[in-house]
Structure 1
Amino acid sequence: MGFSLFEGFTKSLAMTVLSEIGDKTFFAAAILAMRHPRRLVLSGCLGALIVMTVLSVLVGWAAPNLIPRKWTHHMTTLLFFGFGIWSLWEGFTEEGDSEELAEVEAKLNADFKPSTAATKTVSKADDDLKKQRRPFLTQFFSPIFLKAFSITFFGEWGDKSQIATIGLAADQNPYGVVLGGIIGHALCTTAAVLGGKSLASQISEKMVALSGGILFLVFGVQSFLSAVEES
């Protein structure tokens, strides 16, 4: 069980980091952090990713109880090979992250302009005074927190990393997958909030996609060669 826990943790951590760097939610967190308090953006984005990871692992953990473990093992193997080929295809065919970054910026700008106009009418002193009068929970669950949470949650729903997490949890120790996924998301989201846009401009998305594709293929080969553990 200890090795299974460690294996699930390392696979989940590596998969999450390579899947999330340069992703749409990565750019969204970076752009939101440039316009809003970082602590609210970080807590909102990370909260959504933690909820998404736990839900995905629960689905993957329940799958072997509904479907024979032999089939979930084979489906996980196919998922790894499929995502590996997909990532390699993206790495070889896509020119870079400029289009994705522009798309995220345009979407957030459309939402940001009306709120900016309204915010300018309130002075900083009045705003600080209002913040002091708010209860703690009201400050925490602010519109900024909810915006960061919702953008990240729905942006990750059905994403490649979520499906891969479900498949990984169906074949590995779920506690290890949860821990690795949460730590991986925490690292990527923190990097995005602290300086994601400049970091993304220095990292080649093509290399990230190729690295992720190779990693998925390695997982696929390892899963194909490993024996199915009957529960």
Structure 2
Amino acid sequence: MGFSVLEGFTKSLAMTVLSEIGDKTFFAAAILAMRHPRRTVLLGCLAALIVMTILSVLLGWAAPNMISRKWTHHITTILFLAFGLWSLWDGFTDEGEAEELAEVEAKLDADLKGNTGKTKSDPKADDDLKKKRKPFLTQFFSPIFLKAFSITFFGEWGDKSQIATIGLAADENPLGVVLGGIIGQALCTTAAVLGGKSLASQISEKMVAFSGGILFLVFGIQSYLSTVEP
């Protein structure tokens, strides 16, 4: 098993970039940036992804302390191979991007209509009511920041890239995995905010899926061939 910071960093960076391009949170960041200030959306999405990456790495780092390192190594190997085949299947079926984009747009449109479809009333009374009902967090953070944070955080929870990060942290240097994951998330999120929909239309979703699948398979084969340290 490799525990160098550089190895964990390069694996995490490559896996994150190829997993995040064109996924739900990528499109969510792109669409939110078209409707709200880009800087606020970027900060909200990045904060959520950084928190998610750190939590995932902590789970992966703690896993060998709860079950034997041999079992965590085997589970990680199976996960990489399974995700590799899953990504290749997505590439062959070629249905991922259109469905992801349509689903995200539908959710955000429904949320927007819900906020704008309220009946008009006395502005002063509305302001007083809003102040009374104002959530605690919105006193310190912009509502747009919180919206971007929550959509991104819960969108990533249980995602393929999160589970892969947990497995990678169990098998590689946690510091390298954190740094690689955060930089990879920052690159993808910045690209999404600056021009995600147009960028995604120029990138072949099939090629991204194939590249990600091959990368996961390479990680899985490397993990299978490596020795397990007690």
Fold match by TM threshold 0.5: yes
Which residue of structure 1 lines up, in the alignment, with residue 143 of structure 2? Answer: 143
Please report the RMSD computed on the Cα atoms of aligned residues, expressed in angstroms.
Answer: 2.1
Shift of 1:165: 0.3
Pair 69,108 (structure 1): closer, same or farther in 2 beyond 3 Å = same
Give the % identical residues: 85
Question: 1-side partners of 2:11 and 2:160: how far apart?
Answer: 15
Shift of 1:229: 2.3
User: After superposition, what is the alpha-carbon deviation per residue over 1:32-86, rounded to whole angstroms, capped at 9, x for unaligned?
Assistant: 0000001110011110000000000000000111111111111111110010001
Which residue of structure 2 lines up, in the alignment, with residue 164 of structure 1? Answer: 164
Shift of 1:139: 8.1
Which residue of structure 1 lines up, in the alignment, with residue 95 of structure 2? Answer: 95
User: After superposition, what is the alpha-carbon deviation per residue over 1:141-180, rounded to whole angstroms, capped at 9, x for unaligned?
Assistant: 1110000000000000000000000000001000000000
SS at match of 2:4: helix
Question: 1-side partners of 2:164 and 2:227: how far apart?
Answer: 20
- Aligned residue identity for 2:178: V
Which residue of structure 1 lines up, in the alignment, with residue 77 of structure 2? Answer: 77
Shift of 1:117: 6.0
Question: 2-side partners of 1:156 and 1:146: how far apart?
Answer: 15
Question: 2-side partners of 1:96 and 1:202: how far apart?
Answer: 15
Question: 1-side partners of 2:164 and 2:96: how far apart?
Answer: 23
TM-score (norm 2): 0.88
Shift of 1:140: 6.5
Pair 99,206 (structure 1): closer, same or farther in 2 beyond 3 Å = same
Which residue of structure 2 lines up, in the alignment, with residue 37 of structure 1? Answer: 37
Moved >6 Å (runs of 4+): 137-140
Question: Which residues of 2 match residues 197-208 of structure 1 at below 5 A?
Answer: 197-208=197-208
Which residue of structure 2 lines up, in the alignment, with residue 214 of structure 1? Answer: 214
Question: 1-side partners of 2:155 and 2:168: how far apart?
Answer: 20
Which residue of structure 2 lines up, in the alignment, with residue 86 of structure 1? Answer: 86
5+ residue gaps, structure 1: 122-136
TM-score (norm 1): 0.87
User: After superposition, what is the alpha-carbon deviation per residue over 1:84-121, rounded to whole angstroms, capped at 9, x for unaligned?
Assistant: 00110111013351222111111101111243467x99
Pair 83,9 (structure 1): closer, same or farther in 2 beyond 3 Å = same
- Aligned residue identity for 2:206: K
Question: 2-side partners of 1:197 and 1:139: how far apart?
Answer: 32
Question: Which residues of 2 match residues 176-195 of structure 1 at below 5 A?
Answer: 176-195=176-195
Question: 2-side partners of 1:214 and 1:19: how far apart?
Answer: 12
Which residue of structure 2 lines up, in the alignment, with residue 55 of structure 1? Answer: 55
Quick check: 2:3–2:172 contact (8 Å CA) kept in 1?
no
Question: 2-side partners of 1:45 and 1:140: how far apart?
Answer: 17
Question: 2-side partners of 1:172 and 1:2: how far apart?
Answer: 6
Quick check: 1:40–1:140 contact (8 Å CA) kept in 2?
no
5+ residue gaps, structure 2: 122-136
Question: 1-side partners of 2:141 and 2:37: how far apart?
Answer: 13
Question: 2-side partners of 1:2 and 1:106: how far apart?
Answer: 43
- Aligned residue identity for 2:28: A
Question: 1-side partners of 2:166 and 2:190: how far apart?
Answer: 24
Report the count of equivalent residues.
214
